[in-house]
Structure 1
């Protein structure tokens, strides 16, 4: 009786051998799974992911993907260990370019890990790496230090605006930029992406497209709307209403270099601007702080265009501010009535 249980097992094994032979699968193939040979190298996969992600993600990670390619270009995605990833992040941190606002390379290390997580998230979705074997999620990002940005004093903002309006090779453009950021608290990307077609002149609204592919309508004062329309009429002769709105005197669209030039110039005239590394984002802090102090957190959150679920908890779902409330805050900020506030008062 002890021999009978072995007979079905032997027959089953022989059946498996026959099936494998018909499929053309040998013992050598089983010892070297095809999946390992299919896993791409970093050099190959970085190019593929770069073509698939958004322009903003590509811009943020390209320099870090370049460093990953230089270090591991010929290695497969499933080869590096968490320890190797941590070591690479530390190397990038140590070799980070030292600028006046540098913070010891912590941001470079954080972005290196984030760039790897982006690669591995796609590799997991493509089936090249099991989620349980993703080495990038086992390496913690460096803890972020508290931001040194803060709201500017009224006198400081006045000095910045006045200096921009009387210096440089295009005071009109720089004054328009500062007013745009002061009224809307938009980011640089939102201003650079602004197009003539994004202007709603009747309701004094502009359509902002910012990071995370967010799109929102933001109130502006009638005065700013007039300046934006006139700027487009004077500097854009292409007739393309879907092209960039903000342009140089020669009609070419501005880039981030205009902001760099603006703040370098302001720093040369106002030493405290250079010492504290003031930038456009400080104006965003200034406007949103002013709005929050006078109109509350919900209005400030809507003014900023924040719509994430993790930045204010579930309560924000029930206390969300509306566009007319943002317009009311803007009217108080600029001292000009806004079409949306007049419409609200009439109803």
Structure 2
């Protein structure tokens, strides 16, 4: 009862923002944190497993996400505005192209390293949440600009340093994304009203891939190759890297070195 009452109090005291959902996430995070603490307490023998009170408090049910795929016109407006405004349009344009082609998360872009660029096969190594590591196809154009960006702004040629940097050589942080979307929101009111973020680009790319190449390819494109609630069938219909490259080639309008027809020869 005490945990439940605390969750309700935290829910009521949550900071109200334009995208707030009544403090549900704050309450969920509290219960998750308490479950973590009690899990360690059980492991260390301070609390009996059947006496763990945090497990008897349900988390608030998550509401459906308000994110959605952007239309072609909206995506074009974002790219055009990012390339004509701000203090580093070259960097912002590169970020948007990177996320549009790969559907990667900001965390994956920020840990991209020069050593993770396979120039021969046009692949980049993405390290994302859950300690996942995967190779993702990119267009020759994007690879060219990533290499040029690293050569111009790199940390003295250190292949293990962060690739994405400001003009002064300092590594890009998540604050660049905050600045980018705040700026785009000032120029494009619908961006601010709908709270558009980098994750909307991920939605856009993966929706486009799923509609044209099916669920298996979209799942591989997103890097969702682990366990999920998608059903046992997903274990047997995994897409390979060549199929992801084929989808990327159509998306970017450029041939890719790994592009092939799939094993069934379906066009």
Q: Same fold (TM over 0.5)?
A: yes
- Structure 1 segment 291-306 matched on structure 2, within 5 A: 291-306=209-224
Matched, 1:287 2:184: no
From 78, 82, 88, the counterpart of 2:6: 88
> Once the 2 structures are TM-superposed, how far is the Cα of residue 99 of structure 1 from its aligned partner?
1.1
Gapped regions of structure 2 (runs ≥ 5): none
> For residues 169 and 192 of structure 1, what CA distance do their matches in structure 2 show?
19
Q: 134, 151, 173: which is aligned to 1:255?
A: 173
Gap runs ≥5 in structure 1:
1-82
Equivalences for residues 19-34 of structure 1 within 5 A = none
Partner of 1:192: 110
Q: Does 1:227 find its partner at 2:145? A: yes
Aligned-residue CA RMSD (Å):
1.4
| Alpha-carbon offset, residue 119 of structure 1 | 1.7
- Aligned partner of 1:309 in structure 2 is 227
Match of 2:158 in 1: 240
Q: 1:126 aligns with which of 27, 41, 44?
A: 44
Please give the alpha-carbon distance, in whole angstroms, between the structure 2 residues aligned to 1:150 and 1:344: 29
Q: Which of 152, 176, 189 pairs up with 2:94? A: 176
Relative to total residues, which structure has the larger helix share, 1 or 2?
1
Q: Specify the alignment match of 2:28 in structure 1.
A: 110
Residues 193 and 155 of structure 1: is their aligned pair in 2 closer, same or farther, counting only changes over 3 Å? same
Structure 1 position 157 matched with structure 2 position 80 = no
Q: 2:185 matched to 1:267?
A: yes
Q: Distance in 2 between matches of 1:344 and 1:329?
A: 11
Partners of 1:327 and 1:160 lie apart in 2 by 25
Q: 1:126 to 1:285 in 2, by over 3 A?
A: same
**Aligned-pair CA distance for 1:164:** 0.1
- Rounded to whole Å, the distance in 1 between the matches of 2:67 and 2:83 is 24
Hey, what does 1:46 align to over in structure 2? none
May I ask how many residue pairs the two structures share in their alignment?
Answer: 263
Q: Which moved more, 1:109-118 or 1:289-298?
A: 109-118
**Distance (Å, rounded) in 1 between the aligned partners of 2:252 and 2:239:** 19
Query: Distance in 2 between the 1:249 and 1:270 partners?
Result: 26
Q: How far apart are the structure 2 equivalents of 1:245 and 1:84?
A: 48
Shift of 1:272: 0.6
CA deviations over 1:39-97 (Å, ceiling 9, x no partner)? xxxxxxxxxxxxxxxxxxxxxxxxxxxxxxxxxxxxxxxxxxxx111111112111111
Aligned to 1:322: 240
Match of 2:249 in 1: 331
| Residues in 2 aligned to 1:341 and 1:142: alpha-carbon distance in whole angstroms | 44
SS for the counterpart of 2:259 is helix
SS in 2 for 1:217: strand
Normalising by the residue count of structure 2, what TM-score does the alignment of the two structures yield?
0.95
Relative contact order, higher structure (CA 8 A, sep 6+): 2
Superposed CA deviations along residues 121-165 of structure 1, whole A, max 9, x for unmatched, are 222222222211111111100011111000000000000000000
